[in-house]
């Protein structure tokens, strides 16, 4: 406030990181605070900083050497027709540990980041996607091609086909890819980790 020459009533203050006292002085981390003059704090930009900071802190505590980059509107996996989510791509070497089997670890990481960031923001959290070396984007293209190929087979044979179990974001890609298909429809079947997409002929 001194640097901005403003009183408390004239600024917006948001704590990006509360810091840590460490143990016996070891591992001490200074707090990070954003102070903006006037009532012009942009919540969306502030949320973006907090999400990125949260993700970087988690990676640091996991001893994972990587960089986090914000890619606005790079994902089309949104199923509600709303604006594309904010994508945070983690880039580095040998990051398979962050993806896991069928992308399950990555899904868990995304969930944890959302929970922590929402608690810090104390407001509605924008739609967020966490990716690793473009894994989700590459996987999305593969799944779209798979969906179209299987849909053609189902339409020609008149017999339903059920794909292998997939996490929620992958099932959404299949549903979206075939949402306007003239000859087939889709539905999710199964439970928990065994939930999968069934492609069904319309006629």
**Which of residues 162 and 82 earns the better pLDDT score?**
162
Residues 52 and 27 both lie in one domain: no
Q: Domain check: are 97 and 24 in the same one?
A: no
Instruction: Please state the φ and ψ torsions of residue 108, each to the nearest 5 degrees.
Output: -65, -40
Give the residue, 84 or 133, on which the prediction is more confident: 133
CATH number at residue 194: 3.30.1370.50
Strand duo 128-132 + 161-162: pairing: unpaired
Q: What is the pLDDT of residue 71?
A: 79
Per the CB < 8 A criterion, the answer to whether 199 and 152 are in contact is no
Burial 20-56 (b: 16+ CB within 10 A, else e): eeeeeeeeeeeeeeeebeeeeeeeeebbbbbbbbbbb
Question: What pLDDT, on the 0 to 100 scale, is given for residue 191?
Answer: 87
How far, in Å, CA of 64 to CA of 109, rounded? 13
Q: Count the Cβ atoms, other than its own, within 10 Å of residue 137.
A: 17
Q: Are 191 and 175 in contact (CB under 8 A)?
A: no
Q: Residue 203 — very low, low, confident or very high, per pLDDT cuts 50/70/90?
A: confident
Q: Same domain for 83 and 115? A: yes
Sign of CA dihedral 127, 67, 30, 25: positive
Residue 75 above 50 pLDDT? no
Q: How many domains does the chain have?
A: 3
**pLDDT of 77:** 41
Domain that holds residue 174: 138-201
| 46 and 125 belong to one structural domain | yes
Q: Identify whether residues 14 and 55 lie together within a single domain.
A: no
With H, G, I as helix, E, B as strand and everything else as coil, classify residue 24.
coil
- Mean pLDDT, the chain, as a whole number? 82
Taking the alpha carbons at both ends of the chain, their separation in whole angstroms is: 68
């Amino acid at each position: 406030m001194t640097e901005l020459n403003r009183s408390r009533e004239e600024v917006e203050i948001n704590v990006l990181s509360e810091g840590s006292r460490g143990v016996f002085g070891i591992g001490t981390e200074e707090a990070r605070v954003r102070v903006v003059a006037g009532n012009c704090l942009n919540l969306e930009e502030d949320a973006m900083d907090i999400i990125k900071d949260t993700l970087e802190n988690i990676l640091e505590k996991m001893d994972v050497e990587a960089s986090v980059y914000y890619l606005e509107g790079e994902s089309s996996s949104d199923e509600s027709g709303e604006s594309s989510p904010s994508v945070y791509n983690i880039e580095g070497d040998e990051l398979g540990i962050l993806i896991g089997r069928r992308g399950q670890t990555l899904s868990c990481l995304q969930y944890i980041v959302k929970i922590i960031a929402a608690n810090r923001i104390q407001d509605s959290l924008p739609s967020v996607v966490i990716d690793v070396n473009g894994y989700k984007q590459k996987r999305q293209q593969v799944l779209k091609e798979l969906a179209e190929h299987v849909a053609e087979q189902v339409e020609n044979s008149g017999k339903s086909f059920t794909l292998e179990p997939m996490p929620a974001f992958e099932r959404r890609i299949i549903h979206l890819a075939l949402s306007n298909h003239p000859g087939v429809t889709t539905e999710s079947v199964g439970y928990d980790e065994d939930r999968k997409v069934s492609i069904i002929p319309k006629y």
